[in-house]
Chain A
Amino acid sequence: MRTHAISRSGNPLSVRVRRGCGAVAAALILFAGPGASDAAVISASSDTIFRLRETRDRDLYPLYEYLHLSTVQQVTGGVVSFNMGGWGRVDLADRTTEDHTNGDLQYGYLSYRGDRNNLVANLGRVWVTEGVASERIDGAYWRSDLAAGFMASAFAGRPVVTEPNALAGGDVIYGGRIAHSLPGLYTIGVSAVKTSQVDDGADVLEREGIDVWLHPVKQVDITGISSYSSRTSGWMENTYHLSLAPLHDFRVSADLSAINYRHYLDGVTTPALSVNNALNFGAGTSAAGANNGILNPNEELFMLGASVGYTLRKNLDLVADYRHFDYKVQGDAHYFGANLTYTPGTYSAGLQIHRMDGGAERLSYDEFRIWASRRWGKVDVTVDLFDVLYDHDINDVSNSFSISGAVGYQFSPRLRATADVEYMRGPDYENQLQGLIKLTYAFDVKAGTEGRAK
């Protein structure tokens, strides 16, 4: 059974802050050790964001602080680092509700990277992307190149999930991936991930998969994955992309994707994206194993797409794209259009026009976007218009649009301020105005040694 009452919160902000402070203290103790100051690099960035929003029943003025911290220490044979990122928020206008504060530790881990074999060992809150696994865990992650072109990775811990509707995301997670590469030619990997609950030992998800990256010649690139759900006994996904670049300025791509909702949506923690157990179930899935969601478990999607891109001249790119959605239950839909972007440097602009043409009423609309950005010295200005024209009115509205303007000022290489305003009108908002002010500050010790923007 995947459904049970979950309470991991208590006072979530204070718990996370305590954990975060503990992790920071541990890292600082580690990096303050003998000789640490000789080669230690400490970099951090702060984003202070003040939003002004109105909802149907009240105005909101939330103040956010995003903080990212990284400390790096050269050691014999590699590098040890501590990386942490998180945010906190308080609403300045309304302190009556219990959620007037919130926060989260996005990541926080101690890491060792070896000079050889691309060895990585992480411990803490880590985001793992290894084949069929795309999970954030509180635990340990390890990967290394092996001999003869092999590599391996493994991870284990507790899944970091949100469970708003008491759909269990699991208590224990573990998995790994083994791959073989011939550099410049191919990489083929097999991976597996399993999540289960501690109290009754029930599996929440169990997946295996094969992923490929073929690069037979410089102009051809094929990537893809086939994943299988052992818990529901069926193929979740077969997705493959082909990229051809016969000329540097001319690219063609094609992609296909086959997704089975019953198997693909197994393990999600919100009914908004899970299947409905009141609908017919086929072999391999029991009603007890399904969620009380809104999606049809019998639906299967086959998507075929292609795009053609041409660089008309340096920094001026034109792309035409097409996607065909073929549903087993819902019918067909086509999405096609073109993008034109110009990004020479001090200014940039883009135009996007797309048409969604589907069988269902809501799947018939035209979509437009036009944007432009210009920089004058330390000042930059951006304007962005997004418009959707529905063939059939939604809530008696046929046109949904938003227009936004942003101004940025670079006080120094470390300090930047931006402010933006957005006006929206659509089926769900008659008129909505919102604004955001952001102050970004980067502070480094031994600045310049990192060389990366973010």
Chain B
Amino acid sequence: MKNICLGLLVTVLLSMLYACAHTQSLARVHPEEVKGLVDCGECHTDRWALWNHRAADFYNKHRFFADEQSKACNVCHQEAFCADCHAHKEEIKPSDKYKDEPERNLPHRGDYINQHKIDGRINPAYCVKCHGRQNNERCRSCHR
């Protein structure tokens, strides 16, 4: 009963906040087409200025941007872009699919059958993000 009351209270509160909200939505599509590894700071002086896709830490931080501002990612990227790496089932390594885009530093280059034993030991948490609950059917070849 206590949980139900708490749930109702939160629902009513959120409904009131929703009813009173009036922010303007982000543009659905970026007004200018942008390509490659973009430094948003070249045009933006606001909170998007730090979205420098060429910055060394952008790869590590993109998960936080996606959590908080996926609507901003969607202004330039369609979901197909995310699905190249964050796939349910995928048979082609990202680095194989886009050999003509070396600047993207896509993962799993070279002899990754061997290297995955090393990377998996160093930090399996990196692997879990893409292979923990999805896209791990090929693991069964050896890990039974």
Using a CB–CB distance below 8 Å, which chain A residues touch chain B? 45, 49, 51, 62, 64, 68, 70, 79, 83, 85, 89, 102, 104-107, 113-120, 127, 129-131, 134-136, 144-148, 150, 152, 159-162, 164-165, 169, 178-179, 183-184, 187, 189, 211, 213, 215, 218, 221, 223-225, 237, 241, 243, 245, 248, 251, 253, 255, 257, 259, 261, 264-265, 267-273, 294-295, 301, 303, 307, 309, 317, 319, 321, 325, 330, 333, 335, 339, 341, 343, 348, 350, 356, 358, 360, 362-363, 365, 369, 371, 373, 380, 382, 384, 386-388, 394, 400-402, 404, 406, 408, 418, 420, 422, 424-429, 434, 436, 438, 449-454
Chain B: residues with Cβ within 8 Å of the partner, total of 95
Cβ–Cβ < 8 Å partners of A422 in chain B: 96, 99
A-B interface, 5 closest residue pairs, ranked by CB to CB distance from nearest: A426-B111, A146-B17, A147-B20, A402-B110, A223-B64
Q: List 27 A-B contacts (CB under 8 A).
A: A62-B91, A68-B78, A70-B78, A104-B87, A107-B83, A117-B21, A118-B26, A136-B88, A152-B18, A211-B64, A215-B50, A255-B60, A259-B125, A265-B124, A270-B131, A272-B131, A319-B56, A343-B37, A373-B102, A388-B111, A418-B99, A427-B114, A451-B33, A453-B33, A453-B34, A453-B76, A454-B77
Interface of B toward A, CB cutoff 8 Å: 14, 16-26, 28-37, 41, 45-47, 49-50, 52, 54-57, 60-61, 63-68, 70-71, 75-83, 86-92, 96-97, 99-103, 109-111, 113-115, 117-118, 120-125, 127-129, 131-137, 139-140, 142-144
- Number of A-B pairs whose CB atoms are under 8 Å? 317
Query: Which residues of the other chain, B, contact A360 by a CB distance below 8 angstroms?
Result: 121
CA distance A83 to B96 in the complex (A): 25
Contact across chains for A243 and B41 when beta carbons are under 8 A apart: no
Q: Among B37, B110, B121, B143, find the residue whose CB has the most chain A CB atoms closer than 10 A.
A: B110
Are B140 and A104 within 8 A (Cβ)? no
Specify the chain A residue showing the minimal Cβ separation from B135. Answer: A162
Judging by beta carbons under 8 Å apart, are B136 and A162 in contact?
yes
**Given A218-B49, A402-B110, does the pair A452, B121 have CB atoms closer than 8 Å?**
no
Q: Which residues of the partner chain B approach A453 to less than 8 Å between Cβ atoms?
A: 33-35, 76
| Beta-carbon contact of B110 and A303 below 8 Å | no
Could you tell me if B60 and A162 are in contact, using CB atoms closer than 8 angstroms?
no
Known: A79-B28, A120-B71, A272-B120. A85 touches B22 (CB 8 A): no
